A and B are shown apart, each in its own frame.
Chain A
């Protein structure tokens, strides 16, 4: 069985400060890890994914994530947050099966 945990329901940061959204995972096979973002009244948008190779993955809108196998983590980061980054962020994992298993989501609020 595979699962994802997002330990923080909410993250609040000031604009211009670094943003980190935490994610840990559990899989029995190879982990394929994804981050999605949902802006208000919008669908899920793909941000980035880790399949294999370099542990630091760069994605859309200046986001990046670091895969850490020993800590089974895949934290999402952005060096300088914008007010427009305020949204709901989901971490997801797939093993060798097709379906995604999502975390409960983390609401990010960036204040001006």
Chain B
């Protein structure tokens, strides 16, 4: 079974440019999450999809960030325009079960992350 994959592995952009990160979850996983780790600090939750619907986007820092999951398969996270403080590692994770019941016990499997550097 293939794991969670993320593309690109690294991205270096200028301040004000746009970047789109992609995540392909494990096949059959309804839940997809985005997290990020900035400047070696804690890994912070950004948002959660259940299939194609946003379940929780309380961690999105501001409206420069836009996440989509069309068709309930892969997801993209767009940063437009990018700022210096957006630099960090963006992780995607997926877990199997959908719905509120029992979701808290599911293991989230993480991808390798995308390292974003904004200059």
Residues of A within 8 A of B (CB): 30, 32, 34, 36, 42-46, 49, 51, 90, 92, 94-105
Residues of B within 8 A of A (CB): 4, 6, 31, 33, 35, 41-45, 48, 55-56, 59, 91, 93, 103-105, 107-113
Q: Which residues of B contact A43 (CB under 8 A)?
A: 4, 6, 91, 110-113
Task: Evaluate whether A101 and B112 lie within 8 angstroms (CB atoms) in the complex, with A32-B105, A34-B107 already known.
Answer: no
Task: Evaluate whether A102 and B104 lie within 8 angstroms (CB atoms) in the complex, with A36-B110, A43-B110, A43-B113 already known.
Answer: no
Whole-angstrom distance between the Cβ of B5 and the nearest chain A Cβ = 10
Contact B48 A98 (CB under 8 A): yes
Whole-angstrom distance between the Cβ of A92 and the nearest chain B Cβ = 8
Q: What are 15 A-B contacts defined by CB distance under 8 Å?
A: A32-B104, A32-B105, A34-B108, A43-B6, A43-B113, A44-B43, A44-B93, A45-B110, A46-B110, A49-B105, A97-B56, A98-B31, A98-B48, A99-B48, A100-B35
Contact A99 B110 (CB under 8 A): no
A49 to B104, CA, bound (A): 11
A6 to B105, CA, bound (A): 22
Contact A97 B110 (CB under 8 A): no
Contact A104 B41 (CB under 8 A): yes
Contact of A95 among B41, B55, B104, B111 (CB under 8 A): B104
Q: Which residues of A contact B6 (CB under 8 A)?
A: 43
Contact B104 A97 (CB under 8 A): yes
A96 to B105, CA, bound (A): 9
Task: Evaluate whether A98 and B43 lie within 8 angstroms (CB atoms) in the complex, with A42-B112, A44-B91, A45-B110 already known.
Answer: no
Contact A100 B108 (CB under 8 A): yes
